[in-house]
Amino acid sequence: MASKKFQNMALATLIATLLLILVGGLVRVSGSGLGCPDWPRCWGCWLPPTDVSKIDSIKYDISQYNPTKMWIEYANRMVGVVIGLLVLSTFLCSIRHRKSHPRLFWASMAAFALVAFQGWLGGEVVKSGLSPGIITLHMALAMALLTLLLWIAHAAGKPPAQVAGSERLRNLVSLLFVLTCLQVLLGTQVRESIDPHIKKEGTAEAIPRSEWLSHAGQADHVHRLFSWAVGAAALVLLAKARKLPKGSNPRLLAHIVLALVATQVLIGVTLAYLDLPPASQVAHLANSALLVCSIALLRLRCQPPPTVD
C-alpha cells in the first residue's frame, strides 16, 4: 500500500477528469468548441477579452465573437490545466515510491505523458476547426486516462478482501468492458454526424433538431442495436454476481453497473424521441464515463488484488 497522500491525490485527479468530461460535453452540445478560436490564447489574449473592442479585428473574425461560448470553452481549458497540475503532482508523489511500488511510478508517469499529449491534441482540435476524427481521439484518450487513474488509485490503496468465486466473473466483466468501449466509440460516430448541425444552430442554414438524427445514417441504427448487447451482458453479469455473498463489493458493483446501463438506455431514449435535449446529451456522455469506470473497477475487484511491490 502506498501513502495515503498519494492515493488521495490519484482520487482527486480521477474526479477532476470526470468533471472535465462533463465540461467537455457542455462544450460540444453548446457548440462552444471554437468559442476561443486560437490556442493557447483566447482571441489573442491570455485572459478572455471582456469586450469585442479588445480583439484585433484584422486577425480575427469578430462576427463570431460570443461571450457565452467563449467562457464555456475557456472553463474547459482551465479545468484541463487543473488536471494537468494534479497529474503532475501525482507523478511527483510517485517518485518516492519508485522502488517500493515501481508499477505505480510508471503508471503515474504514463498518466502524465498522456495528459501532456492531450493538452497538445486539444490545441490541434482548435487549429483543425474541430475535425471530427481528432475530437473522437481526444475523447478516447480521456477514457483511457480515466481507467489508468482508476488503476493507480485502486493499486495505491489497501488490497480488498478476495471474494470466493469472484474470479469466475473476470472474463464476463472483460467482455462487458470491451462491449461498452465499442458502444462509446459508436456513440462518437453518431455525435460526429450531428456536430455540423450544432454549429449551424441559430443560423439560416440550420435544420430542426428533430431531423438531426436522420442524418446519422447507419451509425445511429448500429448504436441502438448494440445497446441490446451491452444490456444483455450486464444482466448476465448481475445474475452471476448475485451468487456471491450479500454485501460483497463485486456484487454491489454489478448492481451499480446494471443501473448505469439502464440509465444510459433511458437517456438514449430521451435523445432519440425528444429531439436531442442538450441536457440529455451532456448526461449521456457523463454517464458513459461513470459506466466505463464502474466496469473497470469491477474487473479489478474480481481478480486477485494487484501486487505493486
Same domain, 144 and 10: yes
Count of domains for the chain: 2
Evaluate if residue 294 carries a pLDDT over 90.
yes
φ, ψ of residue 74 in degrees (nearest 5): -65, -40
Q: Is residue 306's pLDDT more than 60? A: no
Find cell 456513440 and name the residue.
187
115-149 confidence digits (pLDDT tens): 888 888 877 776 766 666 777 787 788 889 999 99
pLDDT in tens, 50-85: 888 888 888 888 888 899 999 998 998 898 889 989
Confidence of residue 309 (pLDDT cuts 50, 70, 90): very low
Q: Given 101, 126, 158, which residue is the final one in a domain?
A: 158
- For residues 121 and 186, membership in a common domain is answered with no
pLDDT interval class at 176 (50, 70, 90): very high
pLDDT value, residue 215: 74
Residues 190 and 245 in one domain: yes
Chain centroid to Cα 173, Å, comes to 20
Tell me the CA distances in angstroms from 197 to 53, 206, 207, one per residue in order.
29, 6, 7
Cα–Cα dist 43/49, whole Å: 7
3-class secondary structure, 176: helix
Which distant-in-sequence residues (6+ apart) come within 8 Å of 218 by Cβ?
A: none
| Sign of the alpha-carbon dihedral angle for 238, 240, 241, 245 | positive
Q: Which of 140, 158, 176 is the endpoint of a domain? A: 158
Question: Quick one: 135 and 193 in the same domain?
Answer: no
Q: Does residue 270 sit in the same domain as residue 246?
A: yes
Which of 270, 160, 179, 162 is closest to 223 using CA atoms?
A: 179
Q: Tell me the pLDDT band of 21, cut-offs 50, 70 and 90.
A: confident
Pair (151, 171) in one structural domain: no
Residues 150 and 167 in one domain: no
Where is average pLDDT lowest: 161-165, 271-275, 292-296?
Answer: 161-165
pLDDT band at 183 (very low <50, low <70, confident <90, very high): very high
Q: Is pLDDT at 1 greater than 80 in this prediction?
A: no
Residues 115 and 97 in one domain: yes
By the 8 A CB rule, do 295 and 177 touch?
A: yes
**pTM reported for the whole predicted model:** 0.83
* CATH number for the domain that contains residue 307: 1.20.120
Out of 158, 191, 207, pick the residue that ends a domain. 158
The strand pairing partners of 45, in sequence order, are: 42
Domain that holds residue 128: 1-158
Domain shared by 176 and 305, yes or no: yes
